[in-house]
Amino acid sequence: MQNGAQKNGDSLALDRARLLGFVRVVVGGQIFELPVQSLSFEKDGAGLAGGFFSKDGQLGILVDDSVSAPEAKAQIERGTAEAVRHLSQRVLN
Residues with Cβ within 8 Å of residue 50, at least 6 apart in sequence = 2, 4, 5, 41, 61, 62, 63, 64, 67, 72, 75, 78, 79
How would residue 8 be classed by pLDDT, with cut points 50, 70 and 90? very low
Q: What is the pTM of this model?
A: 0.78
Under 8 Å between Cβ of 4 and 44:
no
What does DSSP say about strands 58-64 and 30-39: parallel, antiparallel, or unpaired? parallel
N- to C-terminal Cα distance for the chain? 21
**Alpha-carbon gap, residue 26 to 68, rounded angstroms:** 28
The pLDDT of residue 92 is 84
Identity of the residue numbered 15: D
How would residue 11 be classed by pLDDT, with cut points 50, 70 and 90? low
Number of structural domains found in the chain: 1
Q: Does any domain span residue 18?
A: yes
Instruction: Give the domain range for residue 22.
Output: 1-39+69-93
Q: Does any domain span residue 55?
A: no
